[in-house]
Amino acid sequence: MTPPLIGISSSNLARKDVQGGEVSAPASYLRAVAAAGGIPLIIPTLLSQEQLAQALDRLDGLVLTGGPDIDPLIFQGRAHPRVYGIDAQRDTLDLALVRLAAARRKPFLGICRGIQAINVALGGTLYTDIADQKQQSLRHDWYPDIPRNHLAHPVELEPASRLAQILGGSRFEVNSLHHQGLEQIAPGLTVTAHSPDGLVEAVELEGHPFGIGVQWHPEWLQEHAPQRALFSALIEAARPS
């Protein structure tokens, strides 16, 4: 059985000792995809739109990774001093990948920044800082000096959702490594999970073979079978026929 090729979105990193910096993706995503039976391949930020489209033709699925904040100017978001790491190349990469994968019905999974990129790419908006902009919110920014597999709060899933079927239930404890979140939901997305404060924790793209975004980080929760199942489901959906 041929293993599917899964594209992994990347980030730019400044390096004093490397002219022009470097492009990379956290190994946790690569390990999770490989353990589920896929072959992870990093998609560099420097590709043109045409090259991205050509790359996607050869890939079987996508993982949109976590990372720095999306530029609020893209979605007319409110400025906030906690916004960090704005990278136009990374924004261009992620938003283009979402739109291409949606149009071409290519399986994709968005994680943390990835779910935010899905929402913004399709016309939604974000809280640029949850603690300041959402009343009575929980703490969601359990970083940087906290283990990434720390279970911060529960999420409640819509029982009939595909995500609940994949994970095998409708309530799970998850980690939480973000200060931004989904505000207005893009057309075509169905909300399939919330945290106890009402923040959107998962979405699915209506009518798509496998278009799922989660706000938590399942790649850091691989000791939990339901979180491994999410990557396995992506691999099965992307497997060449």
User: For all residues of the chain together, what is the average pLDDT?
Assistant: 96
User: What average pLDDT score do residues 45-50 get?
Assistant: 95
What 3-state DSSP class applies to 144? coil
pLDDT at 181 over 90: yes
User: What average pLDDT score do residues 222-233 get?
Assistant: 98
Question: Strands (DSSP E) along the chain, which ranges?
Answer: 5-9, 11-13, 22-24, 39-43, 61-64, 108-111, 126-127, 153-157, 171-174, 181-182, 189-194, 200-205, 211-214
pLDDT at 209 over 80: yes
User: What average pLDDT score do residues 21-41 get?
Assistant: 96
Q: What pLDDT does 15 receive?
A: 72
- Our CA angle for 73, 132, 89, nearest 5°, is 30
Active centre residues (catalytic): 112, 217, 219
Backbone angles phi, psi at 166, to 5 degrees: -65, -45
pLDDT at 73 over 90: yes
Domain 5-238 CATH assignment equals 3.40.50.880: yes
pLDDT at 16 over 70: no
Q: What pLDDT does 14 receive?
A: 74
Tens-place pLDDT, residues 139-172: 999 999 999 999 999 999 999 999 999 999 999 9
Answer for the pair 94, 45: CB distance below 8 angstroms, yes or no: no
* Residue % of the chain over a pLDDT of 90: 95
Amino acid 141 reads D
- Give the pairing of strands 181-182 and 126-127: antiparallel
Tens-place pLDDT, residues 79-114: 999 999 999 999 999 999 999 999 999 999 999 999
Q: Grade residue 203 by pLDDT with cuts at 50, 70 and 90.
A: very high
